[in-house]
Every structure is written in C-alpha cells, then in structure tokens.
Amino acid sequence: MQKRTLGRSGLEVSAIGLGCMGMSFSYGPPADRQEMIRLIRSAVDRGVTFFDTAEVYGPFTNEELVGEALAPVRDRVVIATKFGFKLDPDGGPRWAGLDSRPAHVKQVAEASLRRLRTDVIDLFYQHRVDPEVPIEEVAGAVKELIREGKVRHFGLSEAGVRTIRRAHAVQPVTALQNEYSLWWRGPEAEVLPALEELGIGLVAYSPLGKGFLTGKIDEATTFDGTDFRNTLPRFTPEARKANQALLDLLRRVAARKLATPAQVALAWLLARKPWIVPIPGTTKAHRLEENLGAAAVQLTPDDLRDVDRAAAEIAVEGARYPDHLEALTGR
C-alpha cells in the first residue's frame, strides 16, 4: 500500500484508510463484532495504517471495537477519533446538540483513550463546529492535550474556511475531514485552495457516496429501517434514478481501466491532490479488497479531463443531508 502525508504535518498514513463507522452505526444493525475485528486486522495485513472512528458512533461501541481490533498492532497504525457532541453517558442512541467546551473536550479525550486501549490519540477531530464555543478555545484545549502527550494531531470536520484559519493560528490543523467525492464536490470552490495554502491534508469521508458510487444501489434498492440513508434527500428513489447518469460515467471509465466503478471513484480522489486520503467504509472482506485495489488504478490527465468534462454535464439530484444536519456543516 502506498503512503501519503497529510499536508505539511508529517503524519504519514496509507493512501486509502478505513472508515469504521458503518461497522456499528448508521447503516442498519451493527455487524458481528468478531467478524469486524477480523476485517480490521485483515486491513492492517493488507497495508492499511489509517483507521477512523468517533465517540458518537454507536455511541461509544465503535471506539471499543476499533480499540480491541488494533490493540495487538497499535504501533503500526494511526487512529483518528472525534469529539464535539453531547451524548448520553449511559450509551443511549440520541445525541442532544454540540459541546466543544474545553473541559468537555478533555473529558472526551480521556474516555476515548480508555475505549481505544491506547495512551495517545493520533488524530483528534472536532466532529462539527460548535457555534457556542470560540474555535480558538477548542484549538487551545487540543493544544494542551498535545502538550500532555495524549493527542498527536488536531483535526476539524466539515468546518468553513474562516474557522479553519482561526483554529490553525492557535494549533496547526493537520487534517480536515470532509465529505468529498464525484457526487459531492462542495469542497472544491474554497476549502481545497485554503488547505493547499495552509498545508493541511484532506481526509475524504463517504468517498463512494455512502455506497451509491459502487453501482450496487438503484431506485429499487430498499434499506433497513435503521439505515440513515432513508432520511437523506439524495437517496429518495427518484433521486437515485436520476443519479444513475453519474454511475454510467464511472462504468464507462471503469471498462477502459479494467476496474470497477468504486475503484475509479477512489482513484479519481487520489489523483486530485497528493494530500487527499479517502476513507471508504465497509463490513465485507471482498469490498475491502476492491477498495484497496483502487490504489493501483492510474488515471491519466486525459482520463481526468474526460471525467471532469462529463461530470460537469451531470446535475446530481437531491441534497446530501436534511436541512438540520446540513446546518452543522461549513461553519
């Protein structure tokens, strides 16, 4: 597996990471715990060194899963987790707003360290910007955790450019985690140029459009009642039918490259910038193999121009989030 460095931070990770959220949260009932431990460890065996989780995934259970799976190989991997939500301390499924007060950030760090079975969090993201807490205070809290040796790197997720600059002035931001893919290109206008200027890496979550860009979802697909895609405007049957045009594009390129649509979607991201690292998630071993195979798919400048030209003519239907969730992004 090739390696990439997130911005100018010196944090080196595998070119493709593994998003672990779906193993226990959001995409239907949790998968079998022992199977997921085996899957995570098989990813390590295949060269993956970058694993993403958060306290809110579960909540808490995903960090515990990742901690158990990676404990035997802790010195070989980079673990990213996140803070910033108000959660039921008893593990209830609901979150009740945001909380990035410095005291809470430090409490979350201590709890995450225990669940992850580690002495240090490699990358600690603010999960969503809290408008009630100045970002300078948040960055300062993480700076203290870094000074204490409990955290190595500071990250933000779905933050706006102004917030990124203010945070970076207090504690250098190593990575911004944002949704980014061929079907959500919002970061391109302002965020990517700012990250390049500041030397901050981009960790692309949902690089396969929450499964849509794999080509395995169409307007007839039904999701489990607990799957959060049921709540997303972009996943209505009408939107899925309209958005097949984007899949047709991926399939055409995939046929030329002897690859799959998912591999082309990931290869496109890897080709955008050398400091972009996608973190596709999966619960299936064969999908893990497929995703990691994207690192070997080489898109030429002509390929990229063709994809961009064709994609520009496709209007993706449906908002990516309902209004109340979209309101938490870009602050």
Q: Give me the number of domains the chain comprises.
A: 1
* Mean pLDDT to the nearest integer, 120-127: 98
Q: Is 165 left (phi over 0), alpha (psi -120 to 50) or beta?
A: alpha
Which one is predicted more confidently, 1 or 201?
201
Nearest residue to 269 (alpha-carbon basis) of 4, 49, 27, 52: 4
Peptide bond into 131 cis (omega under 30): no
pLDDT of residue 92: 72
pLDDT at 141 over 80: yes
* Mean pLDDT to the nearest integer, 281-298: 97
Residue 187 domain-assigned?
A: yes
d(CA 208, CA 309): 20
Residue 214 domain-assigned?
A: yes
Nearest residue to 170 (alpha-carbon basis) of 137, 147, 127: 137
* Mean pLDDT to the nearest integer, 125-138: 98
pLDDT of residue 67: 98
d(CA 245, CA 268): 17
pTM exceeds 0.75, yes or no: yes
The one-letter amino acid code at 257 reads: K
Residue positions annotated with a catalytic role: 57
Residue-wise pLDDT for 232-276, tens only, equals 999 999 999 999 999 999 999 999 999 999 999 999 999 999 999
Residue-wise pLDDT for 67-105, tens only, equals 999 999 999 999 999 999 999 877 776 788 999 999 999
DSSP class of residue 186 equals G
pLDDT at 137 over 80: yes
Domain around 193: 3-326
Residue 296 domain-assigned?
A: yes
pLDDT of residue 88: 81
Residue-wise pLDDT for 14-31, tens only, equals 999 999 999 999 998 999
120 and 70 in contact (C-beta within 8 Å)?
no
* Mean pLDDT to the nearest integer, 220-234: 95
Residue 331 domain-assigned?
A: no
pLDDT of residue 327: 95
Residue 133 domain-assigned?
A: yes
Domain with 68 in it: what CATH number?
Answer: 3.20.20.100
pLDDT range class, residue 7, cuts 50, 70, 90: confident
pLDDT of residue 262: 97
pLDDT range class, residue 147, cuts 50, 70, 90: very high
Nearest residue to 266 (alpha-carbon basis) of 276, 256, 275: 276
